[in-house]
Chain A
């Protein structure tokens, strides 16, 4: 029942996690904390107060060079030319067949783009970017930077007391701040569905920042376990599970990442297939499911229609601490993706009743810019 995989590398906060009771497991090639006090308590704490996550395994890239916005548009379906300074955009690195190589956040910083990609895919992404972008566009992997996330309804009061001014940021906006004797790149973003921040900090200053945050009793450290249950409740796809090379942005319900001008003009990898799916609808769609009973269904479980034919698979599933019931995401034939559709799930020879449920399971509470403000 223990975790047997040997971690390959340590992150800047490795000792800090151990000192705070983190249970370390191998994840994305690093030793990372899966939990401290317990997943359930950490999850609920984040929904009510402020949870501090170490996401330093993720790849922080700086892409610079002349016309980097236009260059990025050859690999990603976002409208980077029109992207405003200091604004974040969720985007997808696409393969030629329209499959998803990775999902990422890209922030314009003047002529450059600060891009955060997934930890397990970062080296492959860098290769794809270097090969796909013109030679005069440079991809810097900022591996000396740690990345922390402070998430939850009280995150703003905790962080603004340490870094005055962060409260002025709105959702999907970032900039540089100076605090604790260092430069911090802070954005109002995250992957829990809650208001909160992501903080890029030099690795050697990460522990001082984490300590300053935890000095406030409203903040507690939260591990990967609760990060997963929080993002599942928020309906957010996890790369390598809910999205991968075999899924397209349209199948995954991520069409908001394909901006209007790009739909009209195309010119991104897989555009023919993706624009066709936008027009005619995808064969399969990512859906949310609520499961009857108490037992969670997990990734890989088979989804059946009423006749018992396989129509898809579960890609993420588990117990929802906030809803106190099992929830899941998966793909099904588009005709059976309607809200309220009754389906069956088969796992280890057992059948479960499930109902197609709109995502997110738990409403997002982002700090969006007020209209007209």
Chain B
């Protein structure tokens, strides 16, 4: 399994041709208390950069972009009743959706975990 990050503060954990997507701990901290999350339904086709999910804090709404192209296999149903799970476990149980990769080459353009954490320090 490999873990990648984007400059939009999403993470992608890849296992074979399947990937899990969420937002980083840095992102949940920046958003603050999350009060709503909307995840895509299984079967939806997303292209890299598409608005794939919505996350709202007390203050503002943000889009979660698909970091890679694929077909959604699962949305995280737990977020509907407990959106604050994203605050508590952003890089774990607070994942947003899983998809089957349609263009694995896109992963080459993403950051490794070390690169991402180093980049955060430059912000």
Q: Which of A10-18, A169-177, A293-301 contacts B (4 or more CB under 8 A)?
A: A293-301
Q: State whether B56 touches A39 (Cβ < 8 A).
A: no
**B32 at interface, CB cutoff 8 A:** yes
Q: State whether B32 touches A225 (Cβ < 8 A).
A: yes
Give the residue of B38, B59, B61 whose beta carbon is less than 8 angstroms from that of A225.
Answer: B59
**Contact partners of B38 in chain A: CB under 8 A:** 295
Q: Is the interface of B mostly helix, strand, loop or mixed?
A: mixed
**Contact partners of B80 in chain A: CB under 8 A:** 294
Q: State whether B31 touches A296 (Cβ < 8 A).
A: no
Total chain A interface residues with beta-carbon distance under 8 A: 19
Q: State whether A319 touches B31 (Cβ < 8 A).
A: no
Give the residue of B8, B9, B36 whose beta carbon is less than 8 angstroms from that of A295.
Answer: B36
**B118 at interface, CB cutoff 8 A:** no
**B58 at interface, CB cutoff 8 A:** yes
Contact A294/B59 with A1-B27, A2-B123 known, Cβ cut-off 8 Å: no
**Contact partners of B60 in chain A: CB under 8 A:** 298
Give the residue of A1, A2, A229, A294 whose beta carbon is less than 8 angstroms from that of B58.
Answer: A229
Give the residue of A2, A39, A228, A298 whose beta carbon is less than 8 angstroms from that of B32.
Answer: A39
How far does the alpha carbon of A318 sit from the alpha carbon of B33 in the complex, in Å? 12
Q: State whether B61 touches A296 (Cβ < 8 A).
A: yes
Give the residue of A1, A43, A228 whose beta carbon is less than 8 angstroms from that of B31.
Answer: A1
Contact A321/B36 with A1-B30, A2-B30, A294-B83 known, Cβ cut-off 8 Å: no
How far does the alpha carbon of A40 sit from the alpha carbon of B33 in the complex, in Å? 7
Q: Taking the nearest CB of chain B, how far is it from the CB of A21, in angstroms?
A: 12
Contact A298/B58 with A1-B31, A2-B30, A38-B33 known, Cβ cut-off 8 Å: no
On B, residues with C-beta under 8 Å from A are 8-9, 27, 30-33, 35-36, 38, 54, 56-62, 80, 83, 123
